[in-house]
């Protein structure tokens, strides 16, 4: 969808373990930071899109999550839309908020994503991910993952899916093994993604993990589901991110000196397809066509690296390289800071963290700050165009939801 909306301000908590804080406290921190960054007051906000994915399962807070968080920060009386779309929840909230501004219905709106995932009962946490697939097919999905693992000799991947880890790591592991078999991609190349993102995360003060790792350290880490070692898997986490979105008229009224324009945001769901273009390919192609841009025009990308293989395969899906050449792209250094097309400069989901209901807006925060030249040590020189790629859930052989957003700086 073509947009005509601007990011006036962004805010974000650090991502990590917040055992003594709840949704209201975490969300308030990001919201207040975004309002301050935009230079607007709470009463200026005309509507809000509030994203959360797992509170119903993990805390019991259902139905009015956004209203609860906003009332906790002293914001009431405005229209509130609660958004839940698996790991694509926050990008969906941002997409819908931008669409309503672009349509001329509002001048100043808020999009916020907040998630609380650290609890003592880890099995309950991992069980929350089970709901991001078709639960009527859950038994056959788990059986298929176990058969795939057994057929390839993957001992760890053939047991405990969804019990001591998110079952999505098994889904990514199966896709990784297929990619290795088809294209000759290596475990070392997947480890390069994790090493790269660990370096980027070491430069991000809000990242959940700040330790830089070598490829050798990634490969020597505990195996989760072959070929994924622990640093190749995104962690659970607590955190929030928010953005204030305004119309062109309001942007001029506020006198924004470094406006970030939302050029397009494409949101689609998956479908049954046999080969050919998948969900990421279709969303990315549509976004580029609407923006009048191509992959070569991008300054940087925040990619949905819920696992290291997901980022590597994402290179190919959004057109950074041909199919099968993702391993070569990261091995050549192209996606590192200073490379041709830096990817996941925030540290990505792997190192910045992945509080699932906040992730998509955290990507918007990173791209916005990069386009405004305020990303500190991880600044991409001359950044002009950024792409956010955020997926969620799984149905059949593809993501259930996908959002691709392109932003440009002045």
Q: Is 200 a catalytic residue?
A: no
Active-site position among 87, 98, 233, 283: 87
Residue 133 near residue 168 (C-beta atoms within 8 A): no
Gap between the Cα atoms of 386 and 33, Å rounded: 22
Helix (H) or strand (E) holding 122: helix 122-130
- What torsion, rounded to 10 degrees, do the Cα atoms 164, 162, 394, 331 define? 30
Cα dihedral across residues 40, 43, 47, 48: positive or negative = positive
Active-site position among 179, 200, 304, 354: 354
Q: Is 233 a catalytic residue?
A: no
User: Could you write out the DSSP letters of every residue in 169-223?
Assistant: HHHHHHHHHHHHHHH---HHHHHHHHHHHHHHHHT-TT-S------HHHHHHSPE
Sorted by sequence, the CB contacts under 8 Å of residue 252 that are 6+ apart come out as none
User: Could you write out the DSSP letters of every residue in 271-340?
Assistant: ----SS--HHHHHHHHHHHHHT--GGG-SEEE---SBHHHHHHHHHHTTSS-TT-HHHHHHTTTTSTTSS
Residues noted as catalytic: 87, 354
């Amino acid at each position: 969808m073509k947009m005509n909306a601007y990011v006036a301000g962004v805010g974000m908590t650090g991502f990590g373990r917040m055992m003594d804080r709840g949704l209201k406290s975490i969300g308030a921190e990001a919201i207040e930071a975004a309002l301050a960054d935009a230079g607007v007051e709470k009463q200026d906000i005309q509507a809000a899109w509030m994203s959360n994915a797992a509170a119903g399962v993990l805390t019991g807070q259902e139905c009015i999550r956004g209203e609860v968080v906003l009332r906790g920060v002293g914001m009431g009386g405005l229209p509130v839309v609660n958004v839940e779309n698996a790991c694509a929840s926050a990008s969906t909230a941002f997409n819908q908020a931008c669409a309503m501004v672009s349509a001329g219905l509002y001048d100043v709106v808020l999009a916020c994503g907040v998630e609380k995932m650290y609890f003592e009962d880890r099995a309950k946490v991992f069980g929350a991910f089970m709901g991001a697939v078709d639960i009527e097919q859950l038994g056959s999905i788990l059986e298929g993952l176990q058969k795939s693992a057994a057929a390839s000799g993957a001992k760890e991947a053939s047991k405990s899916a969804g019990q001591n880890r998110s079952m999505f790591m098994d889904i990514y592991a199966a896709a990784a093994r297929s990619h290795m078999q088809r294209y000759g991609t290596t475990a070392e190349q997947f480890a390069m993604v994790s090493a790269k993102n660990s370096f980027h995360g070491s430069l991000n003060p809000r990242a959940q993990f700040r330790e830089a790792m070598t490829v050798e350290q990634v490969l020597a880490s505990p195996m989760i589901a072959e070929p994924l070692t622990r640093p190749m898997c995104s962690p659970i986490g607590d955190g929030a991110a928010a953005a204030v979105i305004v119309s062109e008229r309001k942007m001029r009224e506020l006198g924004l000196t470094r406006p970030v324009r939302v050029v397009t945001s494409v949101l689609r769901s998956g479908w049954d397809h046999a080969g050919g273009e998948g969900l990421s390919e279709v969303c990315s192609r549509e976004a580029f066509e609407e923006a009048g841009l191509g992959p070569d025009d991008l300054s940087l990308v925040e990619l949905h690296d819920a696992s290291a293989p997901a980022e590597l395969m994402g290179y190919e899906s959004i057109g950074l390289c041909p199919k099968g050449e993702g391993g070569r792209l990261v091995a050549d250094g192209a996606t590192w800071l200073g490379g041709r097309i830096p990817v996941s400069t925030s540290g990505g989901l792997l190192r910045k963290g992945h509080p699932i209901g906040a992730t998509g807006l955290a990507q918007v925060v990173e791209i916005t700050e990069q386009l405004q030249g305020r990303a500190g040590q991880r600044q991409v020189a001359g950044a002009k165009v950024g792409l956010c790629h955020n997926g969620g859930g799984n149905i059949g052989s593809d993501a259930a939801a996908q959002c691709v957003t392109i932003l440009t700086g002045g």
